[in-house]
Chains A and B, each alone.
Chain A
Amino acid sequence: MADLTASRTKPVAAPSARKARRMTDLRRQPGFNAMAWGCIVFLYSPIVVLIVFSFNDNRSVVRWTEFSLRWYGEAFQNKGIRNATVISLQVASVATFFATIFATLAALATTRVRAYKGQTLAYAIINQPLMVPEIVTAVSTLALFTIIKKATGVNGIGYLMLAHTVFCIPFAYMPIRARLEDMDLTMEQAGADLYATPYQVFRRITLPLLMPGVFAGAMLAFVVSLDDIIISLLVAGPGETTLPIFILGQIRRGITPEINAVSTLLLGLSLFFVILLFWITRKRK
């Protein structure tokens, strides 16, 4: 008898138990799950559309006809795109190089030390490029560079690289500083205890342990430089068209599948670095 009732209630109990669990999952708020998934759809669908249609054979960027790498081929043929890519990579490399070195040195001087006079000021200055709206930085830098150019007569891509170095420093600084702060001070004491001189401690202990942070900083700087448009747009002189500037110019002229292809490539490059970065920092933990 008892067995019978048990077997009879079972199939009914399963779904209702599930429902009951849902109702008693106290963390849930109605509609919040849907909103979160909607958020992801909202963030990713335009990008997905862009990527998908970059592989469309048709000239239309709306109607799908056939898969093709045609627009990538054309993009590679395009001299403007090629030049812009070279400029972008040059600027990003130089800016990353200097920004990472400067940020590493600064991080060594601002972390793990007794509070000292001017520390807050130093910290504020390093983060200054993050606090000022980009458009303001862009026009002020333009104003300064115009004065310097007029006074010295020196022109060139160095100005653009310099402008990028400035705003790359705080981005490179963040992960390096975080890494240093997480670093166990006793590691260095252990090194000194085992007869390593201060230089040997830095070379054999501090620097190797800091390296993941330095890599992360360099990658962030590179991505940020590669993606910059506003400052480059105002500061870049003739013949210094970076890839984003080139793309903006093309968009203003009209939408072509070629832009989709270049955009996808640039997107892919940034994603590659960021995912790599995520993976490295995750692995290290």
Chain B
Amino acid sequence: MAAQPDIAAAPADGLAQAQSDARARRRRWLLLAPALLTIGLFGLFPLVITLIYSFLSPGTYGGVTWEFSTNAYTQFLFERDIFDDTLAFSTTYLNIFGRSIGLALVATIGALIIGFPTAYFIASKPPEQRNIWLFLITLPFWTNLLIRTYAVLLIIRDEGIINVSLMQIGLIDRPFGMLYTDGAVFMGLIYSYLPFMVLPLYASLEKLDFRLVEAAYDLYATRFQVLRRIIIPAARPGIIAGCILVFIPGLGAYITPELLGGGKKLMIGNLIALQFGSSRNWPFGSAAALILMVVVMAALLIYVRNAGKAGVRHG
């Protein structure tokens, strides 16, 4: 009946109202200042520098020289011939981008195939058990990504437990080379980001009214039809959210391709790091970083729109 109570509630009398409003405003921004300044200066502002760098020329020992150039962007599509200085279409970097997007997509689909039944299973458990399952699913996420990736490397390498066991039981006589393949990177990506898929899926499946499922059975639907016609449509917002939450970090992955791809199977993340490291082409690295960010922002926009439409809130 009373409107939303407000701790900053103010007397409605004109002057007093204005004064206390101004006081509340000042207090608010004072409280926000440390966080906003820190992130603004050292989180947002660097992106502006990156944007500027992408239009400059590389310095000899890293860094940049202040000379305007669009080379960083043309370099993506064309290769400059060293002898006659002509531009020839080149797919080297496009390939890396394509590979990254492809790998991230396939890993997303893989995570969905594993994550959906898992999330459904958790949602159909009694509430006390759900928390334990959710805890088990999220726990790896809070542990070191490097170490988890290293653990995967340990078991799939030639001398790893899988190959050794397979050889011991005589199924194979030479190690089955899994490490440093696209398959290894794919698996590493699923492994790293699976919790991001399960959580939003669970969030939307948990809201599913199981009476709808019963109603569908009552109307002669088979289990598969119930899954396809009732459960999956209900989980749609979760599916979209989960896919984007896996796709984004998968696309920008650095550690996974570095360790499991062996530095040969590059993804965008490695390409960017390489430009700021041994390749010493900061402008090109900056341009690649910006392109990656544009793709990610586009994906996030879809996510936000979808979340807004479905009325789903994610913390």
- Residues from chain A with Cβ under 8 Å of B35 in the complex: 102-103, 105-106, 125-126, 169, 173
0/1 interface trace, chain B 111-132, chain A, CB 8 Å (1 if under)? 0001101101110100000010
Q: Is the CB of A32 within 8 A of B147?
A: no
Instruction: Mark the stretch among B43-51, B71-79, B88-96 that contacts chain A.
Output: B43-51
The minimal Cβ–Cβ distance linking B291 to chain A, given in whole angstroms, is 10
**Interface size (A, Cβ < 8 Å)?**
95
- Residues from chain A with Cβ under 8 Å of B150 in the complex: 50, 247, 251, 259, 263
Query: Is residue A133 contacting chain B, with contact meaning CB distance below 8 A?
Result: yes
A266 CA to B16 CA, complexed, in Å: 56
Q: Is the CB of A27 within 8 A of B147?
A: no
B22-55 residues with Cβ-Cβ distance < 8 A to A are: 24-25, 27-29, 31-32, 34-36, 38-40, 42-47, 49-50, 53
Number of A-B contacts (CB under 8 A): 265
From the candidates B28, B117, B214, name the one contacting A113 in the complex (CB within 8 A): B28
Instruction: Mark the stretch among A13-21, A39-47, A74-82, A208-216 that contacts chain B.
Output: A39-47
A165 CA to B43 CA, complexed, in Å: 10
Q: Is the CB of A45 within 8 A of B155?
A: yes
Q: Is the CB of B155 within 8 A of A133?
A: no
A53 CA to B152 CA, complexed, in Å: 13
Q: A29-B117, A135-B252, A230-B254 known; A166 and B142 CB under 8 Å?
A: no
A166 CA to B46 CA, complexed, in Å: 12
B211-258 residues with Cβ-Cβ distance < 8 A to A are: 213-214, 217, 223, 227, 231, 248-249, 251-252, 254-255
Q: Is the CB of B46 within 8 A of A46?
A: no
B48-64 residues with Cβ-Cβ distance < 8 A to A are: 49-50, 53, 63
Q: Is the CB of A125 within 8 A of B36?
A: yes
Q: A35-B118, A244-B144, A251-B259 known; A134 and B31 CB under 8 Å?
A: no
Q: Is the CB of B142 within 8 A of A36?
A: no
- Residues from chain B with Cβ under 8 Å of A63 in the complex: 164
- Residues from chain B with Cβ under 8 Å of A233 in the complex: 273
The minimal Cβ–Cβ distance linking B278 to chain A, given in whole angstroms, is 13
Q: Is the CB of B315 within 8 A of A234?
A: no
- Residues from chain B with Cβ under 8 Å of A26 in the complex: 210, 213-214, 217
From the candidates B39, B49, B153, B254, name the one contacting A147 in the complex (CB within 8 A): B49
Q: Is the CB of A32 within 8 A of B146?
A: no
A131 CA to B42 CA, complexed, in Å: 15
Q: Considering only CB atoms, which chain A residue lies closest to B273 in the complex?
A: A135
The minimal Cβ–Cβ distance linking B28 to chain A, given in whole angstroms, is 5
Query: Is residue A138 contacting chain B, with contact meaning CB distance below 8 A?
Result: yes
Q: A50-B154, A230-B255 known; A169 and B39 CB under 8 Å?
A: yes
Q: Known pairs A36-B133, A43-B137, A229-B146. 12 more at Cβ < 8 A? A: A26-B210, A26-B214, A27-B213, A32-B120, A39-B115, A109-B29, A125-B40, A132-B47, A139-B286, A230-B269, A233-B273, A266-B144
> What are 17 A-B interface contacts by the 8 Å CB criterion?
A29-B227, A32-B118, A35-B117, A39-B198, A40-B136, A46-B191, A103-B35, A114-B4, A114-B8, A133-B252, A135-B273, A143-B50, A169-B38, A188-B7, A251-B153, A260-B154, A263-B144
